[in-house]
């Protein structure tokens, strides 16, 4: 099988190159993202492999179908960046439903601890021998209420961590899971009661802008908001308005609505045209990271393994256990 890997970085090759050889795949690494302008590069390949900031719309699906591309391999759990309906009966979609839930949950907690205790600011100060504590006061998490939206594997891992901090944990998910150590509540109640809100749900029509002007208005003053899922879960303009009104104690964002073309790239020598992202960067109680919650050795290994197992199953007529269907 010949596979075109879009949007690849050096760290992708570390995992995919040796594993690909073990499976006997002919892998071609493409640095460019998969989009309308680059889809022609898939010609001659049996499958393409894409990541979170690539996209494949209906027109691109048709182009791939004409090029006889059999599959789109998503090296991610989410698939909101692919027109699933357009791909039906034309191209097989295969994803990585789970890699290392703990990697994302642990990073979510790291963001919370950082924006609460301001360790990133303390680090910058003390490097210049400024040992003043002014402006670095945080709050105890002990016995505070944490609200987790989405109780899939990552959400469940986050709940375990929050329980370790002896917080009261409430959660919301349209598909409750039995046996987790958290209390399910409706979404409005979660927004009203939580001192900390952590997002762990997929992006779809029902969750887009789940954090909006209305939900922000319902939140406690001084609430902490953490998002390591998808940027589109938060209405960025509403978030900025809430920040300027003093609603949030701190916000940790590993994802952003319009991150395509910025996240995973070095834009340090350029002027960023996105005014909302630029404004977020200027707010003292906002920490933005570059969609790196998944980025551990264990997670990268698992992503590569499952992605190539998906390709192997397709090539050999085995059950497609990770197929995405409308």
Domain segments of the chain: what residues? 2-99+296-315, 101-288
Residue 283 pLDDT grade (very low, low, confident, very high; cuts 50, 70, 90): very high
Q: How many CB atoms lie within 10 A of CB 196?
A: 25
Q: Would you call 95 a catalytic residue per the annotation?
A: no
CATH architecture group of domain 2-99+296-315:
3-Layer(aba) Sandwich (3.40)
pLDDT (0 to 100) of residue 191: 98
- Is residue 157 within 8 Å of residue 133, measured between CB atoms? no
Q: Which of 17, 230, 267, 270 is catalytic?
A: 230
User: What is the per-residue pLDDT across 197-210, written as a single tens digit (0 to 9) for each?
Assistant: 999 999 999 999 99
For 101-131, the pLDDT digits (tens) are 999 999 999 999 999 999 999 999 999 999 9
pLDDT for 140: 98
> What values do phi and psi take at 64, rounded to 5?
-65, -40
Give the C-alpha distances (Å, rounded to integers) separating 51 from 17, 96, 140, 225.
16, 11, 37, 25
The rounded distance, in Å, linking the Cα atoms of 28 and 26 is 7
Is residue 259 annotated as part of the catalytic site, yes or no? yes
Domains 2-99+296-315 and 101-288 are alike in CATH topology: yes
* Residue 268's pLDDT band (cuts 50, 70, 90): very high
pLDDT of 326: 76
Q: Check residue 59 and give its pLDDT.
A: 97
What's the CA gap between 324 and 306, in Å, rounded? 14
Length of the chain, in residues: 326
pLDDT in tens, 133-168: 999 999 999 999 999 999 999 999 999 999 999 999
Q: How many angstroms separate the CA atoms of 292 and 255, rounded?
A: 9
Q: Is 233 exposed, middle or buried (0-12, 13-18, 19+ CB in 10 A)?
A: buried
Q: CATH number of the domain at 101-288, out of 1.20.120.1780, 3.40.50.960, 3.40.50.720, 3.30.1330.60? A: 3.40.50.720
Main-chain phi, psi angles of 122, to 5 degrees: -60, -40
Catalytic residue selected from 66, 259, 297, 309: 259
């Amino acid at each position: 099988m010949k596979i075109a890997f879009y949007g690849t970085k050096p760290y992708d090759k570390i995992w995919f190159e040796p594993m690909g050889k073990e499976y006997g795949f002919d892998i071609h690494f493409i640095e460019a993202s998969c989009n309308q302008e680059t889809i022609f590069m898939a010609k001659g390949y049996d499958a393409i492999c894409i990541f979170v900031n690539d996209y494949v719309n209906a027109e691109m699906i048709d182009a791939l179908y004409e090029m006889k591309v059999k599959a789109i391999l998503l090296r991610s759990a989410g698939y909101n960046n692919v027109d699933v309906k357009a791909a039906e009966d034309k191209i097989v979609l295969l994803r990585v439903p789970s890699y290392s839930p703990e990697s994302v949950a642990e990073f979510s907690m790291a963001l919370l601890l950082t924006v609460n205790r301001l360790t990133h600011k303390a680090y910058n100060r003390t490097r210049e021998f400024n040992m003043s504590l002014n402006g670095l006061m945080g709050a105890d998490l002990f016995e505070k209420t944490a609200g987790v939206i989405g109780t899939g594997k990552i959400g469940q891992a986050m709940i375990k961590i929050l329980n370790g901090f002896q917080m009261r944990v409430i959660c919301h998910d349209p598909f409750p899971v039995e046996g987790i150590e958290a209390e399910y509540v409706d979404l409005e109640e979660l927004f009203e009661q939580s001192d900390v809100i952590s997002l762990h749900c997929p992006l779809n029509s029902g969750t887009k802008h789940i954090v909006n002007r209305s939900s922000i208005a319902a939140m406690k003053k001084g609430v902490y908001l953490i998002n390591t899922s998808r940027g589109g879960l938060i209405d960025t303009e509403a978030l900025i308005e809430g920040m300027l009104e003093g609603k949030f104690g701190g916000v940790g964002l590993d994802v952003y609505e319009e991150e395509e073309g910025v996240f995973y790239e070095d834009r340090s020598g350029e002027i960023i045209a996105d005014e909302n992202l630029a404004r977020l960067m200027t707010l003292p109680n906002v920490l933005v990271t570059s969609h790196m919650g998944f980025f551990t050795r264990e997670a990268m290994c698992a992503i590569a393994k499952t992605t190539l197992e998906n390709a192997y199953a397709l090539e050999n007529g085995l059950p497609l256990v990770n197929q995405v269907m409308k």
